[in-house]
């Protein structure tokens, strides 16, 4: 049984600083844990999460993301800190620190979605190159 569709996961993957990432609260929802518990597990195993796996976004990046995903203003009961985002490698590491069957299954689905999105981006880039070559001719 599939826990969540690939499309649902792809809709939660964003490009920040030129890297595909997922927001901590989206991951927590997928892993069926609270965001604070997900982040606590990471902090307990911080040596497994270098900046290339997990980083905190800036206020400006969060404003842009909130606009993209339609999150309401945080002034009334929202987040008290800027979110952390996880790269594909960070997602893979999460399954190891969360240590649950659901974490392993969800991580596999998320990594598959990252791979699929990379394929789509590569195909689009190839199409762009071909189109540009045709225009030059």
**117-129, pLDDT tens digit by residue?**
777 776 766 676 6
What pLDDT sits at residue 35?
A: 93
- Per residue in 58-107, pLDDT (tens digit) is 999 999 888 887 765 555 456 788 999 999 999 989 988 887 878 878 88
Q: Diameter of the chain by CA atoms?
A: 58
End-to-end CA gap in the chain: 50
- DSSP H helices in 1-137: 6-10, 24-31, 35-44, 59-69, 88-98, 101-136
Q: Is the pLDDT of residue 22 over 80?
A: yes
DSSP classification of residue 25: H
What pLDDT sits at residue 36?
A: 93
**Whole-model pTM?**
0.75
| Residues paired with 56 in a beta bridge | 84
């Amino acid at each position: 049984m599939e826990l969540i569709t690939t499309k649902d996961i792809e809709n939660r993957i964003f490009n920040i600083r030129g890297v595909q990432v997922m927001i901590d609260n989206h991951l927590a929802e997928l892993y069926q844990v609270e965001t604070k518990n997900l982040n606590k597990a990471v902090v307990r195993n911080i040596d497994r999460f270098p900046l290339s796996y997990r980083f905190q976004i800036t206020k400006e990046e969060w404003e842009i993301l909130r606009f993209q995903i339609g999150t309401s203003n945080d002034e009334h009961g929202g987040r008290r800190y800027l979110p952390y985002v996880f790269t594909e490698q960070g997602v893979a590491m999460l399954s190891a620190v969360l240590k649950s069957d659901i974490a392993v299954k969800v991580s596999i689905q998320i990594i598959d979605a990252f791979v699929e999105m990379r394929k789509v981006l590569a195909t689009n880039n190839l199409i762009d190159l071909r189109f540009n070559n045709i225009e030059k001719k």
